Structure formats: C-alpha cells, structure tokens
Structure 1
Amino acid sequence: MKMEPVTVATLPKDMPTSGIYLFSEGDEHLYVGRTNTIRKRLQNHCRPSSGHNSATFAFRLARQITGKITATYTEKGSREYLQSHPEFGPVFIEQRARVRNMSVRYVSEPDPMRQALLEMYVSVSLGTPHNDFDNH
C-alpha cells in the first residue's frame, strides 16, 4: 500500500516479473490477482483484443453491471456467448477501458505458494469485492 499507484498505461520499466497486483478506483480496492508475468497480465486485463479468459476482472465487472452473474454451463449464456452478446459485449468493452484507467499497485513475490497466500491475505484485509476463492 506504500507504493505510489500507477496505471497500466504508465507501468514503469523496472517493475518486478512475478508477484501480486491490486486494482483500485480512488480509495476503493477492487481486485487482487497474482501472476508470474505482472506487466503482461496487467495489460491482458484491459487490452481491447483481450477476451473473457484474459480480461477476467473486466468480465466480472460486466457480469455485475448486466446482472448476468451466474454461469450457465450451456452454450447459450456461456462466457464466449456473453462476450459477443449485443447487450453484454459493449459493457465488457467499456469495463476493459475502465480497468485500464484504474490505479494499480504491485509487489514482487516469486514463490507461487507465497503468491497465493499473499493474494488471499490482501483480498481479505482490503475487502476486495471482486475476488472469489470459491471452488468451481
């Protein structure tokens, strides 16, 4: 939290390769993730060409906004179907742009076990509303 936030567009050249990251809007902390490729992962969250498997946070936001929260596990209502749906698709595009403008903080952690624990700890500590540790 001591890190001065940046945006995906202003990521510094000397950032760590692996660790956890936090997306925030103002004082509201929204989502924590972990990865072994921080720069690439942050860019994937908001790249215009990123689909539902890459821009997962934006997809979650679009689900919340459109009310399409529950997975259907059928072709109609699947993630791929929603991504191209005339009501959901434009919201998903807007949310990728929104994520691109959010504040980002990150911390280096190369060990996968520590990454997982740190992701959960930060999410619980900050009460990030878009993290979900349910089994699927």
Structure 2
Amino acid sequence: MNEQFRQHIESLHPSFEVLLSSGSFQFTSLPKALPKAGIYLFSNGEQHLYVGRTNSIRKRLQQHCRPNSSHNSAPFAFRLAREARKAPQATYKPQGSRKHLLQDPDFALAFTDAKAQLRTMNIRVVEESNPLRQALLEMYVAVALAAPYNDFDNH
C-alpha cells in the first residue's frame, strides 16, 4: 500500500472514536464553539442515519435544517421526504426531477416535515480540515455505522 495513503487511513479510526465520544446536540442548540471544517453525523437516538462533510460545519448544518432550505441544500431531508412519500428516485429529466417532486403539495409538506425532523435529531461533529482525510473519514464513518442514508453513487 502507498505509504502516504496508509497514513491517511490510519488516522481515520481515532477521529471516528472522537466523533462518537463527542457530546451530541440538536440544531436548536448549536454550540457556539464548533469546528470550522470536518464531519457531521445525524442520529435518531442511537440509530446513526447520515454522515456529511464540509468546510463550514455551522453553515452546512443550517442548510440541512432551516425551514426555507432548498432541495439542493438539504439532501438528507429530501431523502427522508422521498421515503415518507414512497416517491421514486429523483431524475435529471424534468419529469421526476426534484423540482417536479416538490410541485406535489404532499411531497412539499413531507420535505418541510423532514427538515423539522432533522432539527430534533442528535448531531455530532469532529474536526478535519484536510480535504483528503475529510473525504475518507466521511466514507469510513458511513460504512462503520452502516448509515442508511449515505449514498456514494455517482449522480
């Protein structure tokens, strides 16, 4: 294995442990002191649901949770809404696109409800500013916790 890559890989588990041992909070009580860049984890009780990465944790959590966030900035809530409404996977064609799904009032309500649900979930964060380790850590955490809403498929 490439030595540099091995060193990155070996740094993942300690960061994973820091993430899980860090205190959780809800969006409505965001701590004043948050790392700028890193990994965040949404959980419902002990069920770990979604892992994300960002260079601006506070801003990214706001994008996920604010009532007026769009389908592009709140992908986790959008996936929850799709699941709640048993809606098909969004496409890049006009018919079936995210925008098209949101024209359905029931789906739009489910999306609003999902963003409200995110605001009540437990959130944990861990700092990671190195972009390569950040990407690897997101995948490591998602795989290790079997986060059901993470999808690393190409779009």
Q: What's the TM-score once normalised by structure 2's chain length?
A: 0.85
Letter in structure 2 aligned against 1:48: P
Partner of 1:29: 48
Structure 1: tracts of 5 or more residues without a match: none
Q: Which of 1 and 2 has greater Rg? A: 2
Q: How does 1:1-136 map to 2 (within 5 A)?
A: 1-136=20-155
Secondary structure of the corresponding residue to residue 118 of structure 2: helix
Q: How many residues end up aligned between the 2 structures?
A: 136
TM score, norm. by length of structure 1: 0.96
Instruction: For residue 76 of structure 1, report the CA deviation from its aligned partner.
Output: 2.4
Q: Bigger CA drift: 82-91 or 44-53?
A: 82-91
For 2:37 and 2:103, the matched residues in 1 are separated by 32
- Structure 1 segments, 4+ long, off by >3 Å, are none
Residue 21 of structure 1 aligns to a residue whose secondary structure is strand
What secondary structure, in the 3-state scheme, does the structure 2 residue paired with 1:119 have? Answer: helix
CA contact (8 A) 1:51 1:83 kept: no
Write out per-residue CA displacement over residues 95-114 of structure 1, whole angstroms, 9 at most, x where no aligned residue.
Answer: 00000110000000001111
Question: How far 1:72 sits from its partner (Å)?
Answer: 3.0
Residue pair 1:18, 1:110 contacting (<8 A) in 2 also: yes
More helix by share: 2
